[in-house]
Amino acid sequence: MTAIAAVLGLLGLGGGCRGASGANTGGGDGAAGFASMCATCHGADGRPPEAMIARLAVRDLTAVEFRARVTPELVEHQIRVGSRSKLMPAFEGAIDDAQIKAIAAYVASPRFVAPR
């Protein structure tokens, strides 16, 4: 959890992340979990703010090339281990297994990119 707080702190984006305590993680609902754990960096609709793209090269989760290859397993792995550059921290241990699976299933689903 410290790595998550450090990244957000460096960006001036404190808050928005909660972890092992289960607070503010959205329970088993992938959409709510994404909103509370991922939207700060990836954007509420999966399109990251320009500042996040410029500073951290945050991935657009709605990009055609990503949507063509996205699977729940791919997203789950990324959530668990973070990015190779370590700019996206590993969330394994910060949020529970059910929440990781719920967020991954939501991001990989057609519902994620459906108009809201």
Query: What are the extents of the domains in the chain?
Result: 2-113
Q: Give the pLDDT score at 18.
A: 38
Superfamily for the 2-113 domain: Cytochrome c-like domain (1.10.760.10)
Dump pLDDT digits (tens) for 74-102: 999 999 999 888 889 999 999 999 999 99
Dump pLDDT digits (tens) for 16-32: 333 333 334 444 699 99
Q: Distances in Å between the alpha carbon of 115 and those of 28, 35, 81? A: 22, 16, 29
Q: In the predicted model, what is the mean pLDDT of residues 43-51?
A: 96
The answer, yes or no, to whether residue 12 has pLDDT greater than 50, is no
Q: Give the pLDDT score at 8.
A: 45
